[in-house]
Amino acid sequence: MPAPDRALFRAIYQELVEINTTDSVGDNTEAARAMAARLKAGGFSESELQLLVPADGPKKGNLVVRLKGTELRKPMLLIAHLDVVEAKRSDWERDPFKLVEEGGYFYARGSIDDKAMAAIFVANLIRYKQAGYKPERDIILALTSDEELGAGSKWNGANWLVTNHRALIDAEFALNEGGGGELKDGKPLLNRVQAAEKVSVSFRLEAKNPGGHSSVPRADNAIYELAEALVKFWKFQFPVRLSEITHGYFTRSAELQSGQVAADMRALAQATPDPQAAARLSASSALHNSLMRTTCVATRLEGGHALNALSQSATAMVNCRMLSGSSPDEVQQSIVNALGNPAITVTRLRQPIASPPSPLRADVFGPIEKLTAEFWPGVPVVPAMSTGATDSLFLRNAGIPCYGVSGLFIDPADYRAHGLNERIPVKSLYDGQEFLYRLVREMAGGG
């Protein structure tokens, strides 16, 4: 990368992480404005930039930018969120809202999540513009608010843009966070491309009882009945079901493993998964377990109203992460069956938002495979499903396939997004910028 391009990128990255965009005291609109100013200084015109601020959410602004192409193909969308998770200065070793370069790392809140990709996209669009690049399709960039609050925020920018300004961001497919490279002992191990996410749905379980004085306990009891049912539920597991994506994940991951784990991953990926292999993999890794099946887990428990009274009600909250293709009705029925007590009521809390997996299309994976081989020879591209959710949820739900790909390599043991002293290796950041620069060009065609 030419030195002036790198210096500009670093300046954009620094400016972005130093604008506080937490929900409590931060301002996403300020960050969107700063990036609009950078793009304008880089050659974008007023008409190519849209600053979109919800009328009732002045700090929840979004920026949409369009690099015009020759329209031979449908546009592609790049999306990154501006907001960050809270960070308390007194808990951190350094000021979370100052970019600190130290010992080969950049430290700051958002240094990975998600201001790395946001700044990379802004800097790269400026590079395309200044090079006079004419893609075969429009390249749209959306920088958005409130990803970290997800569906819990009415100002979630991805959801808000899809609902209110669909035409501005409509695309054949989108690139987002959610993927990324893995380092092992400082060396690139694999390049993960996220093509699916599990879907969250929660239930309330309740046992009821007429209650009474605790000095004369009745035979039936809401707390004991709920507890007994929960213990049965604890032992219950949903069946193993692999998709195109998790099948690819286990097949590719087997190449990076050895011994029993490698053999089990291959046995799991057979047409009929080997149940013993599945049991060993799920017992040894909570992550592998949640990749191969729908999971549900009790997360809250409540009961009783006084120390000297029999409980009239005992409730538990259960959060499930469904594989796509499962229906919430099916999951609810499985919970009812597993509890083994029809007197316990099971109520769904909120209608889940569907998130269909995105197809492993050649025009997306081809360029990723090609450039991964060039940047990191021998490193496999591994399709992946996230157990949590990103903004890709809203886009996939609206029919825009999404791919989490960044080329940012991080050691999973050192993954500090949302945590203390968030950091990214300096080399990973610059390599990721160059990878995405080439990747987007490759996908957008033209010259």
Binding site for Zn ion (CB under 5 A): 113-114, 177
* Omega within 30 of 0 (cis) for the link into 27: no
The DSSP call for residue 326 is B
CB 444 within 8 A of CB 69: yes
Min separation Cβ 163 and Zn ion, Å: 20
Min separation Cβ 45 and Zn ion, Å: 30
The answer for residues whose C-beta is within 8 angstroms of residue 271's C-beta and 6 or more apart is none
For Zn ion, give the closer residue by CB, 118 or 169: 118
What's the CA gap between 248 and 287, in Å, rounded? Answer: 16
Min separation Cβ 167 and Zn ion, Å: 25
Min separation Cβ 8 and Zn ion, Å: 24
Min separation Cβ 183 and Zn ion, Å: 19
Structure-derived torsion over alpha carbons of residues 176, 179, 180, 181, reported in degrees to the nearest 10:
-150
CB 360 within 8 A of CB 195: yes
CB 290 within 8 A of CB 385: no
For Zn ion, give the closer residue by CB, 33 or 418: 418
Which tokens in the block code for residue 98?
């100052």
For Zn ion, give the closer residue by CB, 5 or 177: 177
- Helices vs. strands in the chain: H and E counts, helices first: 14, 19
Which tokens in the block code for residue 139?
């390249």
Closest CA to 54 of 29, 78, 26: 29
Min separation Cβ 87 and Zn ion, Å: 14
For Zn ion, give the closer residue by CB, 138 or 422: 422
For Zn ion, give the closer residue by CB, 229 or 389: 389
For Zn ion, give the closer residue by CB, 76 or 112: 112
